[in-house]
Structure 1
Amino acid sequence: MPFERDPTALLADEFRKLALDSGWGKKSAKFKKERTKFYGGAVAQDFTTFWGSNASRLDAWQDLCRHLGITDVPSSIKNCKLALKPFYVNLVDLVDSKRQGTKPKIFSSAGQLATYIQNTGKIFPKEQAKANPLLRQFLVVVFG
C-alpha cells in the first residue's frame, strides 16, 4: 500500500512513520537516502503549493516575507530578496511552519543553520532547491 501523506503532520513525523512501516533502521544508509529523498519530494511539493516556483510573482515573495515575520513588507521583488537575505531557516521547518500556521525557527547565521541541519538530518537536496528560484533564496552550505 502506498504511503499517504498527512497534510497536518510534521514532515519529520511523517518520515518516521514511513521508515517504521518500511523497516528502515535509523542508522542505515537506506534510511538516510530515503529521508533526503522524502524531504526533497515533500518539501518541494508543499513549498510549490504555498509559494509557487515563479520568481516573478511579487505576492509569493511578499508572503515569504510575512511568514518569516517581516512586518514592513517590501513592494518589489528586489527589496523582498534583500529583506529575506539575513534569514537563515531550514526548508523542512519552513514548510512545516506554513502547514501548521506557526512561525519557523530562524537562525542567526548560516553556520548555526548548517549545524542544525547536520544534527537533525532535515536536509533538502541542493539540486532541487536550485531548480526553484524561490527556494534557492534559502540555500546555505551544509557540508563542505
Structure 2
Amino acid sequence: MPTRSSSTINNGSRTRPRQVAATNSVIIRSFNEYAFSQNLEDGTDEHWEARRRFISQEVRSRFTRVFGADVNSLEGWKKLCKTVLGSAKGKKAINLDELTTIRQCKAKLQNSFVNLIDLVEYAQNGNVLPRRLVFESAEALAEYTKEETKFFPKEDAKSVPLLKLFLIAVFAH
C-alpha cells in the first residue's frame, strides 16, 4: 500500500486534513497537485471522477505521442516491445531487427502484462520498464494496479485502438 502523508488545506474559514498518496508517478503527482489546487476532497465522488478524467487524458495523449494509435504500425509495435521487454532475458529477450511483422511483436508481448500509467511514463522518458513492472498474469497486474491505485478507465481506450489491446479487467481478478 502506498505511504500516505498528511497536510492541511484551508477552505475559506475551515481547515481540513488532506491525505496525499506518496507516489513515483508523474501523472498521479500532477493530478494530486491539480486536485489540491481545485480543493477536491480526497475520496469523494467528485475527486475520483476528476482523477479518472485527468489520468485518462494524460495516458491516451502520452501513449499516442510515443507509440501512435495505429494497430497496423510495425514501428509502434516495435516501440512497445522495446519498452515492455527491453530488460528481458532468455526467450523473452528481444532483438528489434528480428521483429519484421506485427504478429511477431504480438507473440513476444504475449503473457506480458503492464500497467498503462507505468508504460507511458517509462516510454515517454525513453526508458524500458524494469522487470518488476512486467507481470506474467493479469491477476498479478490487477493486484499491483489496485495496491498502487494506478487505474486507467478501460472505456476511454476506444479512441486509441492500439492502447485498447493492453487492457485487463482489474476488478474481475
Considering the TM-score relative to the shorter chain, is it more than 0.5? yes
1:96-107 to structure 2, matched below 5 A, reads 96-104=121-129, 105-107=133-135
Structure 1's consecutive aligned runs of 4 or more residues displaced over 4 angstroms after TM superposition are none
Moved more, 33-42 or 126-135: 126-135
Q: Gapped runs of 5+ residues in structure 1?
A: 1-8
1:49-68 to structure 2, matched below 5 A, reads 49-68=65-84
Question: Which one-letter code corresponds to 1:72 in the other structure?
Answer: N
Q: CA deviation at 1:99?
A: 2.5
> What's the % identity of the aligned pairs?
32
Where relative contact order (Cα < 8 A, 6+ residues apart) is larger, the structure is 1
Partner of 1:16: 32
Q: Secondary structure at the match of 2:71?
A: coil
Q: TM-score, normalised by structure 2?
A: 0.72
* Matched-pair contact (CA < 8 Å) for 1:81–1:137: no
Which of the numbers 41, 47, 55 marks the counterpart of 2:57? 41
Q: Gapped runs of 5+ residues in structure 2?
A: 1-24, 87-92
Which of the numbers 152, 156, 163 marks the counterpart of 1:124? 152
* Matched-pair contact (CA < 8 Å) for 2:145–2:170: yes
Q: TM-score, normalised by structure 1?
A: 0.86
Q: CA deviation at 1:124?
A: 1.0
Partner of 2:7: none
Q: Secondary structure at the match of 1:143?
A: helix
Q: Secondary structure at the match of 1:35?
A: helix
